[in-house]
């Protein structure tokens, strides 16, 4: 396993890139709108992992709610798994609370599923299976 990315909620990706790209020196290699999650994302590689900047595309986006409550910051940690169905089943068998019972389509054509912070000690965890 590895950390696929850290998801960071922002009010606007362009504004956030002034820090992550211009000032810190990372490079935004991929921007995409993920309709299913009502977010626009930017991916900036850092070592073998990435920073994922998230911007809401509507008022009822999960990121809008997060921004209202916390005003931005680390939103989730994403772990890459080989077999997301097997990972979900293992979590289920261990009595863990899942947000997504079934994998859904994430950025870059990946399959993703979120695990509830109530089962992880307060961290919203995203499982990612790259295609």
**Of the candidates 78, 88, 115, 125, which one interacts with Co ion according to CB under 5 A?**
78
User: By CB under 5 A, how many residues form the interface with Co ion?
Assistant: 4
- The helix or strand, by DSSP H or E, that contains position 93, with its residue range, turns out to be helix 84-93
Binding mask 6-35 for Co ion (x = CB under 5 A): -x----------------------------
CB of 69 to Co ion, least distance (A): 18
56 lies in the binding site for Co ion (CB under 5 A): no
The answer to whether 44 and 51 are in contact (CB under 8 A) is yes
Closest-CA residue to 96 (of 80, 115, 75, 124):
115
Binding mask 83-122 for Co ion (x = CB under 5 A): ----------------------------------------
| Cα separations in angstroms, 19 against 1, 13, 22, 44, 66 | 29, 10, 6, 12, 20
43 lies in the binding site for Co ion (CB under 5 A): no
Two tokens, residue 52:
């994922």
């Amino acid at each position: 396993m590895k950390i696929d990315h850290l998801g960071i909620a922002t009010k606007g990706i362009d504004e956030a890139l002034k820090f992550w790209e211009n000032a810190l020196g990372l490079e935004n290699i991929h921007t995409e709108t993920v309709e299913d999650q009502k977010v626009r994302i930017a991916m900036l590689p850092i070592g073998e992992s990435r920073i994922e900047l998230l911007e809401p595309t509507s008022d009822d986006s999960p990121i809008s709610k997060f921004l209202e409550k916390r005003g931005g910051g680390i939103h989730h940690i994403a772990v890459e798994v080989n077999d997301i169905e097997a990972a979900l089943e293992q979590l289920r068998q261990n009595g863990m609370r899942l947000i997504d019972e079934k994998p859904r389509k994430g950025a870059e054509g990946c399959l993703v599923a979120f695990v509830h912070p109530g089962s992880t000690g307060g961290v919203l965890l995203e499982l990612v299976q790259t295609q």
